[in-house]
């Protein structure tokens, strides 16, 4: 199937040709925008993954509510300027942050497990082991 046929989807069977042409043109832009979103999210998660390791290594809590509050307020202002619904921007960011915090918690739990395993295998490295 060509990418044009894929983009036409169900509309191909019930939309007149001129309308279909415009729809396909808009869907081509949507494809590019969605691809960019995927790349942007991948880069964001790479950065937050590194933050997760840093936090686990230095015993910092997975969530930082003050940072979240400031970032959400900032993005709501940007959304307003860009004529994007600020409530939607807030929900979208909260959705992403929730996932990031889950990743941070998993990184922290696995770091604690490896510390515990190391101290069982080699109690001399952890004077508290076995107490």
Ligand X SMILES: O=C(O)C(=O)C[C@]1(C(=O)O)C=C[C@@H](O)C=C1
Q: Which two tokens stand for residue 33?
A: 């925008």
Count of helices and strands (H, E) across the chain: 4, 0
Question: Looking at beta carbons only, is 24 or 56 nearer to ligand X?
Answer: 56
The DSSP secondary-structure symbol of 58 reads T
Question: Looking at beta carbons only, is 25 or 69 nearer to ligand X?
Answer: 69
**Binding-site ranges for ligand X (CB under 6 A):** 48, 51, 63-64, 67-68, 71, 97, 100-101, 104
Question: Looking at beta carbons only, is 56 or 100 nearer to ligand X?
Answer: 100
Report the nearest approach of ligand X to the CB of residue 90 (Å). Answer: 13
Question: Looking at beta carbons only, is 30 or 54 nearer to ligand X?
Answer: 54
Report the nearest approach of ligand X to the CB of residue 6 (Å). Answer: 33
Report the nearest approach of ligand X to the CB of residue 127 (Å). Answer: 32
SS3 readout for 63-95: CCHHHHHHHHHHHHHHHHHCCCCHHHHHHHHHH
Q: Is the dihedral angle over the CA atoms 115, 116, 121, 124 positive or is it negative?
A: positive
Report the nearest approach of ligand X to the CB of residue 92 (Å). Answer: 12
Residue 42 to residue 31: CA distance in whole angstroms: 17
């Amino acid at each position: 199937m060509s990418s044009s046929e894929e983009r036409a989807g169900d509309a191909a069977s019930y939309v007149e040709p001129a309308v279909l042409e415009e729809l396909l043109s808009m869907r081509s832009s949507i494809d590019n925008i969605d691809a960019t979103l995927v790349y942007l999210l991948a880069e964001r998660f790479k950065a937050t993954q590194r933050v997760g390791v840093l936090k686990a290594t230095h015993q910092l809590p997975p969530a930082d509510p003050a940072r979240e509050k400031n970032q959400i307020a900032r993005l709501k202002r940007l959304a307003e300027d860009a004529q994007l619904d600020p409530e939607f921007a807030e929900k979208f960011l909260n959705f992403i942050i929730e996932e990031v915090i889950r990743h941070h918690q998993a990184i922290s739990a696995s770091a604690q497990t490896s510390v515990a395993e190391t101290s069982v295998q080699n109690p001399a490295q952890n004077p508290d082991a076995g107490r």
